[in-house]
Amino acid sequence: MAPNKKPSIKSKLHPRNKNRENYDLAALVACTPALAAHIKLNKSDEPSINFANPAAVKLLNKGLLHHYYGIEHWDFPDNNLCPPIPGRADYLHYIADLLAENNAGKLPKGSKITCLDVGIGANTIYPILGVAIYDWNFIGSDIDAAAIASAEKIIAANPSLKDKIECRLQKDKHAIFKGIIGAKEAVDITICNPPFHASKEDAIKGTMRKVKNLSGKKDKHPTLNFSGVSNELIYEGGESQFINNMISDSKKMDKNCFWFTTLVSKESNLKGIYKHLKKVEATTIKTIPMGTGNKSTRIVAWTFLNKQEQQNWIKNRWK
């Protein structure tokens, strides 16, 4: 199968993203032969996959991780969230830019940077990409012991990930940073893709919209094309409540971390987030626009360190 003749640039993706051009499907099939069965001609008579099919999406992601990032072994239960690789990589590129702003414009790489992924999930995607792209060290937290076990299995199966990612179980379902970050521990940046839906009913409606957009068909019993168990998708109060709880918890660790960050999918949630960040006296708040495909989202970042504390942090940890 020949790759597309004219690569299409996905201009919304970060300039350093490896997937700004159309996927080289021939190369992906070479890495993941099972993907071939899911490739069909689209309306433009070009080879493509059915993004409404969870099995096809998972195989595509396996191929992307193998071909572009050198990850040969990536598997987890089918009921867990299967993430779109380009968008996950974009989050990491933008937070690398954020760190570079504090580092005289130099992108920080290597083990001097420790990133905490809140909700590592069974797929372990952010730490995998962060190690492959920037060689950072990662802590991955999760409230689900099965997700932690899956993550540890993926790490053990890939030599490049060993000794780079530490998984920690969050035993308190009401806490986010407490119990994960040690009292004298330093974390350079945190990332999080919060649960989006406030209820199971909300999640089902969202899935129906997504499947209709991808396939053009209505389905009263849709299958999540990116899968996802309840704790990955649903949180009482939804995204807004989760992030506000995160902000409150971050205040308790105000000197243990340089930058706290989170994705914010719903623009309408920003006003309440900004209000809460001002209430807890964050010294700096940044909003970073991010777009993938037809979807626009953003990263909200905050720190409690003053200018002198920031300079000391950089001198002691990054130099």
pLDDT in tens, 14-72: 999 999 998 999 999 999 999 999 999 988 889 999 888 899 999 999 999 999 999 99
Q: Are the C-beta atoms of 226 and 233 separated by less than 8 Å? A: no
Q: What is the pLDDT of residue 51?
A: 85
Q: Which of 229, 290, 192, 205 minimizes the C-alpha distance to 82? A: 229
Provide the CA 37 distance to its chain's centre, in angstroms. Answer: 28
| Cα separation, 6 vs 26, whole angstroms | 14
Other Cβ atoms less than 10 A from the Cβ of 191: the count is: 24
Q: What is the pLDDT of residue 182?
A: 97
| Cα separation, 187 vs 257, whole angstroms | 5
Other Cβ atoms less than 10 A from the Cβ of 130: the count is: 26
Name the pLDDT band for 230 (thresholds 50, 70, 90): low
Q: Are the C-beta atoms of 288 and 298 separated by less than 8 Å? A: yes
Can you name the residues that pair with 297 across neighbouring β-strands? 290
Using the predicted structure, report yes or no on whether residue 188 has a pLDDT greater than 90.
yes
| Cα separation, 138 vs 116, whole angstroms | 6
Q: Which of the pair, 205 or 65, is modelled with greater confidence?
A: 65
Going by their DSSP bridges, the two strands 165-169 and 137-142 should be labelled as parallel
In the chain, the percentage of residues whose pLDDT exceeds 90 is 73
Q: Which of 207, 247, 213 minimizes the C-alpha distance to 228? A: 207
Tell me the average pLDDT of the chain: 88
Using the predicted structure, report yes or no on whether residue 217 has a pLDDT greater than 70.
no
This prediction's pTM: 0.87
Using the predicted structure, report yes or no on whether residue 204 has a pLDDT greater than 60.
no
Instruction: Name which of 22-31, 98-107, 214-223, 268-277 the model is least confident about.
Output: 214-223
In the chain, the percentage of residues whose pLDDT exceeds 70 is 83
Q: Which of 124, 66, 130 minimizes the C-alpha distance to 92? A: 130
Q: What is the pLDDT of residue 12?
A: 87
Using the predicted structure, report yes or no on whether residue 6 has a pLDDT greater than 70.
no
Which positions ≥6 away from 78 have C-beta within 8 Å?
54, 55, 58, 227
Residue 3 has what DSSP assignment? Answer: P
| Cα separation, 280 vs 283, whole angstroms | 9
Residue 207 has what DSSP assignment? Answer: H
Instruction: Name which of 174-183, 229-238, 308-317 the model is least confident about.
Output: 229-238
**In the predicted model, what is the mean pLDDT of residues 64-90?**
94
